[in-house]
Chains A and B, each alone.
Chain A
């Protein structure tokens, strides 16, 4: 199946610091989606990117799709305790494949 790798697996930051998670593929992706899962909760859709070099923003979150469409990133500026959770990327081909996620801990 489609291999979508995410790094890092875990990240601990002080509140107010920035955070970035990366999603990489060995093949060209037609789309990339990002989800957030709070501890004990379920994944919640954040955004989809489809265009080469696309950048989208949601308040303090910035999503980027690489020029070659083989990687994507999610950047959070000035993290808050409400940002705690696991962030997943995923891509749809004939099925939807999720990355293994990055677990973010924010230290107050």
Chain B
């Protein structure tokens, strides 16, 4: 099925550990995004990639890095996890922002940092 695939679905890390969240889309979308969702805070943009080869910071980029590996794949890396990074992470993609087609979200990664 066409869509956005995220791995892993669940992860528990110890403080200071690193990990990479993987995201792939098969809709030939140009733009990809990483959001985090915390209770009462809505969805906040961490990083985005408007097109292959470009990445930009969103609202809450500190503690994260990203790589747009190719048009399909956009990964999010936590170099040294902190408890404040406990959250649900969503990857999303869109054809062209603001064109009316909306964002397609992955099913999320539930990350706990202890």
Chain A positions within 8 Å of B, measured between CB atoms, are 1, 9, 30-31, 33, 35, 41-48, 50, 88, 90, 92, 95-101
Given pairs A95-B59, A98-B35, 8 additional interface contacts (CB within 8 A): A30-B98, A33-B102, A41-B107, A42-B90, A42-B105, A43-B90, A48-B101, A98-B43
The interface residues of chain B, by DSSP majority, are classed as loop
Measured CA separation A100–B42 after assembly (Å)? 4
A-B contact count (CB 8 A): 54
Chain B positions within 8 Å of A, measured between CB atoms, are 33, 35, 40-45, 48, 58-59, 90, 92, 97-98, 100-108
Question: Do A45 and B103 form a contact, CB below 8 Å, given A1-B59, A31-B98?
Answer: yes
Question: Do A45 and B102 form a contact, CB below 8 Å, given A95-B58, A96-B97?
Answer: yes
Question: Do A100 and B107 form a contact, CB below 8 Å, given A92-B97, A92-B98, A95-B58?
Answer: no
Measured CA separation A31–B35 after assembly (Å)? 20
The interface residues of chain A, by DSSP majority, are classed as strand
- Pairwise interchain contact B40-A96, C-beta atoms closer than 8 A: no
Query: Which residues of A lie under 8 Å from residue B106 when comparing CB positions?
Result: 42
- Pairwise interchain contact A42-B108, C-beta atoms closer than 8 A: yes
Q: Quick one: which of B42, B100, B105 has the most chain A CB within 10 A?
A: B42
Kindly report which residue of chain A lies nearest to residue B44, judged by CB atoms. Answer: A98
Query: Which residues of A lie under 8 Å from residue B108 when comparing CB positions?
Result: 42
Kindly report which residue of chain B lies nearest to residue A98, judged by CB atoms. Answer: B43
In the assembled complex, how far is the CB of residue A106 from the closest CB belonging to chain B, in whole angstroms? Answer: 20
In the assembled complex, how far is the CB of residue A28 from the closest CB belonging to chain B, in whole angstroms? Answer: 15
Measured CA separation A45–B48 after assembly (Å)? 18
Query: Which residues of A lie under 8 Å from residue B90 when comparing CB positions?
Result: 42-43
In the assembled complex, how far is the CB of residue A8 from the closest CB belonging to chain B, in whole angstroms? Answer: 13
**17 pairs of residues in contact across A and B, judged by CB atoms under 8 Å:** A1-B59, A9-B40, A30-B98, A31-B98, A35-B102, A42-B105, A42-B107, A42-B108, A43-B103, A45-B102, A46-B102, A50-B100, A95-B58, A96-B45, A96-B97, A96-B103, A98-B35
User: Which 6 residue pairs are nearest across A and B when measured between Cβ atoms?
Assistant: A45-B102, A100-B42, A92-B98, A42-B105, A98-B43, A48-B100
